[in-house]
């Protein structure tokens, strides 16, 4: 770029007052943050304080409610169940989706378009729409009140978006590598396992991150399929907790806070993967 252009751009930027941008951004950020802050305040107050002086920061913070929640065995059951379902679903989705995405991205065959459209059916109607039919089928299979039922359904519904995302990433891997591998005598499976997957690791991480968030936050599938308290997942348990203790607002806030923590930690660690997964799937899908 010539020096003249640089100067022009700098002058252009000066004309749009940056301060306005920041004001808008900060106002928007406050809108986003204040509910969360209010809940943190509420969680750290006693029930009485919540009713009488709810809006000032809790000084000193009261850990009573948090202790109550952590002492409830049902909370740990819920945590365990959520983790179990999340890990199994994610593993399942990553494996099954990458197999299919591989085929659609590297191999040409008859009827691949029709099949691909079929595989992306899951994008066309989200789980809310299909939940009653799903309930009937899972009940027929005898898998209600069983975490395996939840895992299978969650996996099935995450496959479509995952295949789309992975296919896009896989297509970007140069075909020369595939040729080279075939000349070296590497089978298809070998190419898949030894070459493609390691190269596609960022995309697999993205799909994994997406699936983990979706599975962790899923309410509908456990709600409909699970009855037994000991098998509740965290969102389901949170909803039941609020129904049960709704009047003790500070206790509910504490529960919310604790159940939000895993999600937030995960978010901070995996933000990049989440973002790349979402944008890749969304933009090129």
Interface with another protein in residues 193-212 (CB under 8 A)? none
Least distance from another protein to the Cβ atom of residue 161, Å: 11
Nearer residue to another protein within complex by CB, 42 or 58: 42
Size of the site for another protein (CB under 8 A): 122
How far apart are the C-alpha atoms of 25 and 11, rounded to whole Å? 23
Instruction: Choose, by CB under 8 A, the member of 64, 143, 168, 188 that binds another protein.
Output: 188
Is 277 a binding residue for another protein by CB under 8 A? The answer is: no
Annotate each residue in 254-273 with x if it binds another protein (CB under 8 A) or - if it does not, as one string: --x--xx--xx-xxx--x--
Is 60 a binding residue for another protein by CB under 8 A? The answer is: no
Instruction: Choose, by CB under 8 A, the member of 33, 148, 180, 269 that binds another protein.
Output: 33
Is 174 a binding residue for another protein by CB under 8 A? The answer is: no
Is 275 a binding residue for another protein by CB under 8 A? The answer is: yes
DSSP string spanning 10-73?
HHHHHHS-HHHHHHHHHHHHHHHHHHHHHHHHHHTS-HHHHHHSTTS--SSPP-HHHHHHHT-H
Is 239 a binding residue for another protein by CB under 8 A? The answer is: yes
Least distance from another protein to the Cβ atom of residue 231, Å: 10
Is 240 a binding residue for another protein by CB under 8 A? The answer is: yes
How far apart are the C-alpha atoms of 207 and 93, rounded to whole Å? 8
């Amino acid at each position: 770029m010539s020096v003249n252009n640089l100067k022009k751009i700098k002058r252009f930027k000066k004309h749009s007052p940056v301060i306005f941008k920041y004001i808008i951004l900060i106002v928007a950020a406050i809108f986003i943050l204040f509910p969360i802050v209010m809940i943190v305040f509420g969680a750290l107050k006693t029930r009485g304080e919540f009713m009488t002086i709810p809006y000032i920061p809790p000084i000193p913070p009261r850990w009573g409610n948090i202790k109550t929640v952590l002492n409830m065995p049902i909370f740990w059951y819920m945590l365990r169940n959520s983790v179990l379902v999340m890990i199994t679903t994610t593993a399942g989705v990553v494996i099954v989706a990458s197999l299919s995405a591989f085929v659609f991205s590297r191999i040409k065959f008859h009827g691949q378009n029709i099949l691909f459209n079929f595989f992306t059916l899951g994008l066309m109607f989200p789980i809310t729409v299909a939940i009653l039919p799903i309930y009937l089928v899972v009940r027929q299979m005898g898998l209600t009140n069983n975490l395996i039922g939840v895992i299978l359904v969650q996996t099935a519904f995450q496959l479509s978006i995952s295949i789309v995302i992975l296919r896009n990433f896989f297509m970007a891997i140069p075909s020369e590598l595939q040729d080279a591998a075939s000349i070296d005598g590497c089978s298809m499976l070998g190419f898949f396992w030894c070459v493609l997957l390691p190269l596609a690791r960022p995309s697999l991480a993205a799909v994994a991150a997406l699936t983990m968030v979706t599975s962790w936050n899923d309410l509908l599938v456990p709600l409909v399929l699970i009855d037994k308290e000991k098998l509740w997942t965290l969102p389901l348990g949170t909803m039941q907790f609020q129904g049960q203790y709704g009047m003790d607002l500070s206790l509910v806030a504490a529960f919310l806070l604790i159940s939000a923590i895993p999600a937030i930690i995960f978010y901070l660690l995996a933000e990049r993967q989440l973002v790349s997964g979402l944008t890749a799937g969304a933009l090129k899908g």
